[in-house]
Structure 1
Amino acid sequence: IETKHLADKYDRPQTPVTNVAPVTVTPVADYSQPVIVAWHNVTGDSSMSSLKDCEKFLKYINVISPTWFALSDNEGSIASIGSAAYVESCHEKGIKVWGLVSNLTYPEVSTSTVLNDPSKRAYMIEQLLALAGQYKLDGINLDFESISAEDGAAYVQFIREFCLKAHEKNLVVSVDNYVPKEYTSHYNRTEQGIFADYVIIMGYDEHTSASDEAGSVASLDFVIEGIENTLKEVPKEKVINGLPFYTRYWTVDANDMILDIQTLPMSKGIETVAAAGVTAEWDDTTGQNYAQWSDGTSTNKIWLEDVRSLQAKLDVMKAHELGGVAVWQLAFGTEEAFAVIDEYYLPKTE
């Protein structure tokens, strides 16, 4: 700039902020049929072998989301364990593949550092898009958890930037979210619902391995709360509710202090009750079969996830006309569980 012109004055008409055209976001997703997505928890080079182990479940789903990608350093690098053969195999079966990217795989990485730096966000986005192209993915599932309130705005900006770039590549973007609570309002589900194709509720972990009291992984009221509060911010066709294919087996002392917690796949939970020689009874409050038994010094408690509990949750989901269902995770399933979801969601063909 020539300094002699800095003093020159001229009038320029100003455009009011209210007249600025909003960003137009065109979803890539096809909302004409519901999504049935199973997260597939894989490690190392186990993708193909694990997929083969779960082959009997694949006929019940139309999307699979393998845990392939992870934020791996403070520069925004993405580690990958993807498999082109895996994607090809799924596509041959008519199953779309959404690669999952997590910020939890490498605990030493500062998600905050990456999210708050525009150049690092851009680098992360660039890599994810390149990986999606390399493996011929149909979408990306963003699984960024434990985001602080201070980082909320930067996280939402990352979602905006990523969705706009991903949609240019015809990639479906889904974002994983906790059941809404005031302390997670900074996840800004309203904005997610504008930019992302799907907002997925992780409708479980009501009680976790870190809880100080025994309880259900996903009671019916907890699931209803998650759905109804998410729908206050996100259009129903964009909402997917995640169901647990697992339960927790609690051992407590006479004062209900926790002595032991085990996380069990759905079938193992049912087997544990049978092995104890007790019968689980339906609990209307939680919408689950519940069992407890004692050996005299401690008491065992378990709130089962089974076909009946899934049906109760699916009834709520169908009543709210959600965009679909997700399950954590594929290998924890049973044919009976997948079949009941199939009855609710998959279109029938003769």
Structure 2
Amino acid sequence: MKDTSNHGFGSATKLRFKKSIWVLFVFLVLIVMIIPSIIIMFFGAGTASVHFNELFTASKQNQASSRFNSNQIANNTSSQKSPLDIGWISGNSINIQHLADYHNLKVVSPELAAIDNQFNLQVISAPSLTNTIRQQGKRIWTRVIIGRDTYTNVHTFLTNSKKIQEVIVKIIQSAKSNHWDGVNVDIENVSSEDRNAFSQFVKTLSDGLNKSSVILSIDLPPETIGSNNKGTPFDHELLGRYCNYIIFMGYDQHWSTDPIPGPITSLSWLKENLQEYLQTGIPAEKLILGLPAYTRIWEQNHQDHVVKNPAEPLQYVEKLVAQNHRNFSWDSTLGEYFISYTAQNVQYKIWLPTAKSFNLYLDLIPQLHLAGSAVWDLNQMNSAYWNEIF
């Protein structure tokens, strides 16, 4: 038989000890829960949000104050919420005082530099123009062209190492002194034999501009679908590596010299070309979709020969068609309207992109994860028409 003389005393002691533990536990819980509430009650919930806002503001200030180099800017494009929308300016006819009226226009590309017939770079130093553009919240990517853009002339330039070096040095110096945000190279008539020379020219220019955090973009024309970028003038893989942006010139599906009338651009054609670009080495986050602000009014004689095909601004053609009460039909494959009629023994054919068309074209940007869009050019698209689209 076990001794139970101390059993009652031991149980009572254990019970009191357990109660003390529970009281201590509850007290600690109350402290943890009540003290923060008291702090918020007396000092206000705003204190916490103020600290958060201060951190958020500081973060934004740090982002604004730090200067990314141009490669970082290009690599971060895909994370931007809004696409990069660019407007080229040809000549000096546009009223730059009203650029602010173009909503969501982020970059303006005026023609301020040209390689002349002696292969010297002629730069228009226009502080008032650049200041006006910048004051309206737009960035400046100066467009560099070659004055006589023929295959022969371009070949002569690309094979003249001395002139190439001189031009590159002057572009870099001009970008610094004129505070250009970027440089847009628009040299199109490059022959296949100059493919490597053009790539080397772009690489050397890119290396120099990158040291000054100046963005480099180049404009590339469409290639034959299915060519896979073999034996063509522009090496997509290399150019996609050297440039911050590649602008695909999504227009002149049918040229002015084309004997067969057709659209300047179309949805199916754009998509095929963009996919070809992506498959041949140009990163999506660097690829910009260039679109036309014009179309052609094709005129054919009774033998179906093209006798005239003037390029006209889209809004002008829309107005012309409406005034003459012409019937038109929607082509869902092309993503635009088609009009055909006869007047005074002349057959007229018009493929007309509208704001509806542009919405379809611009939908390719998120679908293919592209960097943005560009329009050729603002001289042919007023702010009202631009805003209807963008």
Q: Report the TM-score, using the length of structure 2 for normalisation.
A: 0.75
Q: How far is the alpha carbon of 1:109 from its aligned partner? A: 8.0
SS at match of 1:68: strand
Q: Which of residues 239, 248, 261 is equivalent to 1:214?
A: 261
Matches for 1:1-350 after TM superposition, within 5 Å: 26-29=71-74, 30-31=76-77, 32-33=79-80, 34-43=83-92, 50-52=95-97, 54-57=99-102, 59-74=103-118, 76-105=119-148, 110-181=153-224, 182=227, 185-232=232-279, 233-295=281-343, 297-335=345-383, 337-342=385-390
Deviation per CA, 1:52-71: give whole Å up to 9, x if none. Answer: 355522x3300010012111
Q: Residues of 2 paired with 1:89 and 1:184: CA distance?
A: 43
Instruction: Percent identity, please.
Output: 25
Q: How far is the alpha carbon of 1:104 from its aligned partner? A: 4.2
When you count helix as a share of all residues, which structure comes out higher?
A: 2
CA change 1:198–1:69 in 2 (3 A) is same
Task: Specify the code of the residue in structure 2 equivalent to 1:170.
Answer: S
Size of the aligned set, in residue pairs, is 312
Q: How far is the alpha carbon of 1:296 from its aligned partner? A: 5.2
Deviation per CA, 1:301-328: give whole Å up to 9, x if none. Answer: 1111210111111122221110010000
Task: Specify the code of the residue in structure 2 equivalent to 1:230.
Answer: Y
CA RMSD of aligned residues (A): 2.1
Preserved contact between residue 39 and residue 64 of structure 1 (Cα < 8 Å)? yes
Q: Report the TM-score, using the length of structure 1 for normalisation.
A: 0.83
SS at match of 1:67: strand
Preserved contact between residue 299 and residue 308 of structure 2 (Cα < 8 Å)? yes
Task: Specify the code of the residue in structure 2 equivalent to 1:69.
Answer: A
Deviation per CA, 1:24-55: give whole Å up to 9, x if none. Answer: x9444351432111001124xx5xx6313555
Preserved contact between residue 113 and residue 122 of structure 2 (Cα < 8 Å)? yes
Task: Look at both structures and tell me which one has the larger radius of gyration over its CA atoms.
Answer: 2
Task: Specify the code of the residue in structure 1 equivalent to 2:97.
Answer: K
CA change 1:90–1:54 in 2 (3 A) is closer
Q: Residues of 2 paired with 1:273 and 1:92: CA distance?
A: 38
Preserved contact between residue 365 and residue 371 of structure 2 (Cα < 8 Å)? no
Q: Residues of 2 paired with 1:131 and 1:108: CA distance?
A: 26
Preserved contact between residue 241 and residue 325 of structure 1 (Cα < 8 Å)? yes
Task: Specify the code of the residue in structure 2 equivalent to 1:238.
Answer: K
Preserved contact between residue 113 and residue 123 of structure 2 (Cα < 8 Å)? yes
Preserved contact between residue 64 and residue 96 of structure 1 (Cα < 8 Å)? yes
Preserved contact between residue 60 and residue 338 of structure 1 (Cα < 8 Å)? no
Q: How far is the alpha carbon of 1:340 from its aligned partner? A: 4.9
Of 110-119 and 221-230, the range deviating more from structure 2: 110-119
Stretches of structure 2 lacking an aligned partner (at least 5 in a row): 1-69
Q: Residues of 1 paired with 2:138 and 2:381: CA distance?
A: 17
Preserved contact between residue 186 and residue 219 of structure 2 (Cα < 8 Å)? yes
Q: Residues of 1 paired with 2:362 and 2:96: CA distance?
A: 26
Preserved contact between residue 100 and residue 142 of structure 1 (Cα < 8 Å)? yes
CA change 1:180–1:107 in 2 (3 A) is closer
